[in-house]
Amino acid sequence: MNNQNLFSQSYDEIIKNILGDGTHYFQMLGNPQSFNWPVAPVGQLSPEAYQLMSAAPTYSPIGEFGGLGESTLFANYKQIFSHVGFSSSPEQAAQIKKLSDQATTAQNKVANATTDANTAYNTAKQNGGVIFTTEYPTVKSWLDGPGSTYLKEIATYKKAADEIFDQIQALNEANQPKTLQEAMNLAKLPSGSPSAGNIPRGWAVVKDQSGNLQWQPSFNISTDSQDWRQQLTNGSIGKKTITLSASKSDDSINKSWAGASTSVSTFFWSAYASGSWSETDISASDDSVEATITLESATNVLITPGEWYDGGFMKQLANAGNSGSGYQILQPYTADGKNALFGKNGLCSTMMTGLVVAYKPSFSVTMKSSTYKKHEQDIKAAAGFRIGPFSFGGSGGHYSQNVSTTGNTTTLTGGSTSDDPVILGVTVGFPGTGKP
């Protein structure tokens, strides 16, 4: 049995029970994450916090975070400036157009180098088997070791793209409206040392993989950094109950903001053992399976970009296009449509607006006793259990379970005993357009 309907039910239930009334652009995580970011010193963001808050979600109701080459709002935002010209002399206009083409080439090189690195990692993983996967469980861990040459190549191309951005800024500076000069200045990498303690407006300090301090664009979260976990533990929404049924047909996920048919490749039912998750598909041949997930508390944590982000300019550019604003979108780019700056296929299509988080989820799953017997060994040995976007234990915390049988029905109950809240998904915004 295809579990697409169960993912769709989960998506719909989270929106109804946690996000509530109104229009919500929600992206559910195929693999939930534990919200256990360490607290960073004043003026800094933890690498874990920065990685998630800065991400530009894929244009899909289901998403993943943490991969190599993951798109970020800041990188996409800076690309916009590389393809916009302002009223200038013919000579300056020609120079800006030339630099815009060079920016496109540099950005393509970043994308190609990222693809090459992912391909090399997957090939090495396939050839290296379990030993390789144990030593290098993620692309990023491999890049810190034998794949470091790819990381250096990507960094070189990114640096080249940044230098082109600076040249375009210098050419435009004399003709830009003052507010847009400031916008581009705020998006420019600070020149001082991150360790000096003088943090420029719109910027924060983040440790890289080697522990060195680096400048990164700032992001704001709606809870104070010292109280993130405590406030999420308390929750802003009371206890919620979510029910799922394998016999129920549901296609609400295909009617979401991203549209089209959504295919989910991750496991819906899985157990955690020996350091990894493996499929335990109890509904494959049992449509009597039903699950009830109870959340002790939940909340939607708002996220906004720092002062480096000029949302007003993005809106003006997306709405005004090529006319009447003292600037032009350089060919072959347009505000939307083919070679778009904004919208579904645009250079800057999405941004993170919030985290949908649950605290201490628990579950009760009923199934035929014959179904349980089929999966009993995997379930009993598990240190964690996962139901779609809901994770209990495993690598993200502690887990408890209990099994009882009445007649031909077996009930599996359990839950997370960890104090770390679980990120079920994110809410998505759309630069420039404000909507999909």
- State yes or no: pLDDT of 339 exceeds 90: no
pLDDT at 224 over 70: no
At residue 329, the pLDDT reads 82
**Where does the pLDDT of residue 327 fall: very low under 50, low under 70, confident under 90, or very high at 90 and above?**
low
Question: Which residues face 298 on adjacent strands?
Answer: 237, 358
Q: How confident is the model at residue 401 (pLDDT cuts 50, 70, 90)?
A: confident
pLDDT at 183 over 80: no
Highest average pLDDT, of 127-141, 199-213, 361-375, comes from: 361-375
**What pLDDT score was predicted for residue 232?**
63
Q: Which residue has the higher pLDDT, 21 or 324?
A: 21
Cβ-in-10-Å burial (0-12, 13-18, 19+) of 381 comes to: exposed
Per-residue pLDDT for 286 more than 70? yes
| Pick from 32-46, 50-64, 370-384: least confident | 32-46
The per-residue pLDDT for 426 is 94
**pLDDT tops 90 at residue 77:** yes
pLDDT at residue 44, rounded to an integer: 83
User: Which residues have CB under 8 Å from 176's CB, separation 6+?
Assistant: 86, 184
Confidence class for position 324, pLDDT limits 50, 70, 90:
very low
Average pLDDT estimate for 215-220: 91
> Mind spelling out the 3-state secondary structure of the chain?
CCCHHHHHHHHHHHHHHHHCCCCCCEEEEEEEEECCCCCCCCCECCHHHHHHHCECCCCCCEECCCCCCCCEHHHHHHHHHCCEEECCCHHHHHHHHHHHHHHHHHHHHHHHHHHHHHHHHHHHHHHHHHHHHHHCCCHHHHHCCCCHHHHHHHHHHHHHHHHHHHHHHHHHCCCCCHHHHHHHHHCCCCCCCHHHCCCCCCEEEEECCCCCEEEEECEEECCCHHHHHHHHHHCCECCEEEEEECCCCCCHHHHCCCCCCCCCCCCCEEEEECCEEEECCCCCCCCCCEEEEEEEEEEEEEEEECCCCCHHHHHHHHHHCCCCCCEEECCCCECCCCCECCCCCCCCCCEEEEEEEEEEEEEEEEEEHHHHHHHHHHHHHCCEEEECCEEEEHHHCCEEEEEEEECCEEEEEEEECCCCCEEEEEEEECCCCCCC
Average pLDDT estimate for 208-215: 84
Q: Check residue 399 and give its pLDDT.
A: 78
Query: Measured between alpha carbons, how far apart are the two ends of the chain, in Å?
Result: 32
Least confident of 75-89, 351-365, 410-424: 75-89
pLDDT of residue 275: 76
Give 323's pLDDT tier (boundaries 50, 70, 90). very low
With 0-12 CB in 10 A as exposed, 13-18 as middle and 19+ as buried, what is 145?
exposed
pLDDT-derived band of residue 87, with 50, 70 and 90 as boundaries? low
The residue with greater pLDDT, 419 or 395, is 419
In the prediction, which pLDDT does 322 show?
46
Q: Quick one: pLDDT band at residue 1, thresholds 50, 70, 90?
A: very low
Nearest-angstrom CA–CA distance, 29 and 58: 11
Question: Which of 113-122, 229-238, 269-278, 412-421 shows the lowest mean pLDDT across its residues?
Answer: 229-238
pLDDT tens readout for residues 112-167: 888 888 788 888 877 777 677 777 777 777 877 888 888 888 888 888 888 887 78
pLDDT tens track for 5-22: 999 999 999 999 999 877
Q: How confident is the model at residue 223 (pLDDT cuts 50, 70, 90)?
A: low
Average pLDDT, the chain: 83
Q: Is the pLDDT of residue 366 over 90?
A: yes
pTM higher than the cut 0.95 = no
